[in-house]
Amino acid sequence: MPAEKILKLKKERNAVILVHNYQPPEIQDVADHLGDSLDLSRKAARTDAEVIVFCGVHFMAETASILCPDKTVLMPDIEAGCPMADMADAGRLRELKKKHPGAVVVSYVNTTAEVKAESDICCTSANAVQIVQSLNSNQEIIFVPDKYLGQYVMSRTGRKMILWDGFCPVHVKILAENIIRQKEKYPDAEVIVHPECTQEVINLADKVLSTSGMCKYAKESKAGKIIIGTETGLVYRLRKENPEKEFHPAAEAAVCPNMKLNSLEKILWALEDLKEEVKVPEKVRAKALRPINRMLELS
């Protein structure tokens, strides 16, 4: 069985398997650490393992490489990218910075290493509000790349920001009508949604939370039924950790195909061959490390 071989080879390689909440169930089950991008960034920074197998998408493995230049960071499928991260590029960001000299660039961790290198501080959906609140109230803020997360942060902080015109193609598939339909079906259910969702969806939610926040809230909530407005992969973890409760995806269409590219076989091959390695060039890594470290210090 691939899972058994993975566990054996992982010990031989002194490897750790970091798995994002949106990964397929069988991959979640072999994880050493399961979490969102902030959780996994922290685990990458602290691990004693020599090899990091990152089951997520490319920017996440890049972040691990930035934090751990002395470790071998592997992706089971190197083609697992992030469309939202690809919506921002360093060249256009430099041009925007020229138009707004003195502005602080807050880049969502869902960005390339080159974009992070042009940024002042990073954030995740779990800490974006906290990060923006920590900034000088007199400074302009450029927020890259998710405009919907940016709009949510503005609504929570009262800060005006220059928003990049990017978005998550998965979260915009969750529509207000999906929430309304699920509420009609489960009238006593709570609704929790991700801040990458549109404002129309956020307006219908009881709580707006990152995936780690959803996991924590699901354990604490007294609700027996919860409608989950994020990528459907999280539902597996929620059901596994809270078997006494019901979890219903807000929209079955909210599936990230890139998150589903990994498989147990690909993890095994990565460990066997130590491929595909993600290595950020040192010149870029050194610049990208500063905004990531600023984020981790504030979180």
| 27-36 tens-digit pLDDT | 999 999 999 9
- pLDDT level of residue 272 (50, 70, 90 thresholds): very high
- pLDDT level of residue 37 (50, 70, 90 thresholds): confident
- 172-188 per-position pLDDT tens digit: 999 999 999 999 999 99
- Is residue 166 within 8 A of residue 147, CB to CB? The reply is yes
Q: What are the φ/ψ torsions at residue 97 (nearest 5 degrees)?
A: -65, -35
User: Over 80: is that where the pLDDT of 240 sits?
Assistant: yes
User: Over 90: is that where the pLDDT of 239 sits?
Assistant: yes
CA distance 279 to 263: 22
User: Over 80: is that where the pLDDT of 141 sits?
Assistant: yes
Q: Which fold has domain 171-249?
A: Rossmann fold (3.40.50)
What's the pLDDT score for residue 109? Answer: 95
- Is residue 14 within 8 A of residue 248, CB to CB? The reply is no
The gap between the terminal CA atoms of the chain, to the nearest Å, is 39
- pLDDT level of residue 38 (50, 70, 90 thresholds): confident
CA distance 232 to 11: 31
Q: Which fold has domain 84-167+288-298?
A: Rossmann fold (3.40.50)
User: Over 90: is that where the pLDDT of 41 sits?
Assistant: no
Looking at residues 55-63, what average pLDDT do you find?
A: 96
Q: Which fold has domain 2-80+259-281?
A: Rossmann fold (3.40.50)
Q: To the nearest whole percent, how much of the chain has pLDDT over 90?
A: 95
What's the pLDDT score for residue 85? Answer: 98
Same fold, 84-167+288-298 and 171-249: yes
Residue that has been written with the tokens 């921002």 in this structure: 88
Q: Residue 97: how many CA atoms within 13 Å on its side-chain side?
A: 17
- Is residue 18 within 8 A of residue 56, CB to CB? The reply is yes
What's the pLDDT score for residue 61? Answer: 96
User: Over 90: is that where the pLDDT of 1 sits?
Assistant: no
User: Over 90: is that where the pLDDT of 45 sits?
Assistant: no
User: Over 80: is that where the pLDDT of 286 sits?
Assistant: yes
CA distance 256 to 3: 23
Query: 249: cis peptide before it, omega within 30°?
Result: no
Give the type of residue at 282.
Answer: E
User: Over 80: is that where the pLDDT of 242 sits?
Assistant: yes
User: Over 80: is that where the pLDDT of 271 sits?
Assistant: yes
> What are the respective helix, strand and coil percentages of the chain, to the nearest 5?
45, 15, 40
- 94-130 per-position pLDDT tens digit: 999 999 999 999 999 999 999 999 999 999 999 999 9
User: Over 90: is that where the pLDDT of 214 sits?
Assistant: yes
Quick one: tokens of 233? Answer: 């992969």
Q: Look over the chain and give the mean of its residue pLDDT values, rounded to a whole number.
A: 96
Per-domain residue ranges for the chain? 2-80+259-281, 84-167+288-298, 171-249
pTM above 0.75, yes or no: yes
Looking at residues 45-52, what average pLDDT do you find?
A: 94
- pLDDT level of residue 57 (50, 70, 90 thresholds): very high
- Is residue 54 within 8 A of residue 61, CB to CB? The reply is yes
